[in-house]
Structure 1
Amino acid sequence: MAERALVIVPTYNERDNVVRLVEQVLAQDERIDMLIVDDGSPDGTGAIADEVAEQNSRVHVLHRPQKMGLGTAYLTGFKWALERQYEFILEMDADFSHDPAHLPQFFDAATNADLVLGSRYREGKVTVVNWPMTRLFLSYMANIYARAVTGLPLYDGTGGFKCFRRKVLEAIDLNAVKSNGYAFQIEMSFRAWHKGFRLVEIPIVFVDRTEGQSKMSNKIIREAVWMVWRLRWWAISGQV
């Protein structure tokens, strides 16, 4: 990987993870920088991130006044990355459910792809650790549902471990992206696919968080259920 890469990590109450995550991400390749987008974490995550950034020029922090959602955090990060000419722009969770050791695989796959997605269900093989069977079933079926409604050719359209080439984000009207939770992941991939970019899934092992609290909510689930139909309509009506 000759070009620079930026790993964007949204945070909310992740003080127990942020320092270790920065260390492990930056250790993967010297050309990786990190952008932490903190949503006013009351546990002091933002202040800890600032301390890390003061000691390491490869770490950057954006502060938002309150919890504003995953999708808008990534959109803010995307725009920041594009302004600074990063070639590879990655999404990653803060809670170690995404293993930083997978990062080199994303860069390898990006030599022949425009959007690389870490898949928990590639070709039907489940690689999820620590999820109860009910949640695993819900997630697996949600991806089948999204694929059936939208036609998006992905085994795991709701995953959040992704690597975009900058040209993909430049081609998408980021101001038109409407969703925020898991639906955000489906929407971004759908928009990239609909514009003809090359999407590739690589297998990852997803380990459910062992520190902090899950951000899953019924609102996020409802948004994902309805967003796939909106995407289908937008595609039919030429709005994507």
Structure 2
Amino acid sequence: MAVRRTAHRTRGRAATAALALAGLLALAGPAPRSHAAAPEPETACTAGTGPYQRELEAHLGLPVDGRQSAADCAAIRSFQRAHGVTPADGRPALATFRTMTAVAARTDPNAAGDCPVRDHRVTCVDLDRQLLWVQRGRRVVLAPVPIRTGRDEQETRPGWHEIYWRSKDHVSTLYDDAPMPYSQFFDRGQALHGRPGSLFEDGGSAGCVNLSVPDAERLWNLLGEGDAVYVWGVKPGTED
């Protein structure tokens, strides 16, 4: 009998404690819900009309009037962000235009047939559009990327060339020890190589084909000595 009374008292105490806890919870109300931090509101896009306004408007399916609107600015800024253009401020300047040209050419960069089709790899350098891509036969193995070629009187030499020397961490001995990462030389000192910083400053190179450093690295990993390079056209702003 003593054991039963003890067990009964223990169960009674536990039930009383549970009821007390339930009462406290009821008085306290429901537990507060956790809320994720609200995203910061998008800032207004206020960049003005740029030198390539009409070209970007046409590419993005906007009304082509050559005047920047708030909708134009926002659409151009979204394009810049999507394709890594800096600053992504909505203004259609040269870097945005060159990137747009490369994006527009991705479907068929050799539609005009200017780069010869061969069974082996050919690096195609289009001076007119300032584009580079690599093709084997009719298959594109490196999609078009924007480039910067030789300025007036230091033009990149047209025609067939061949990569004859590669220097991954090259530094120029002619131009103030300028870094030339992933250099692949194809004609009397002219090379395909990366350009740290902005690709589009100063109007042109001293004859080399400049790429962004990431694009130059991709090209380095694809090509080797003996690979063919074909250059044609005229860089805008240089004499034919």
TM-score for both structures, normalised by structure 2? 0.29
Q: Greater helix percent: which structure? A: 1
Select the structure of larger CA radius of gyration.
Answer: 2
Q: Greater strand percent: which structure? A: 2
RCO comparison, higher one (Cα < 8 Å, 6+):
1
TM-score for both structures, normalised by structure 1? 0.29
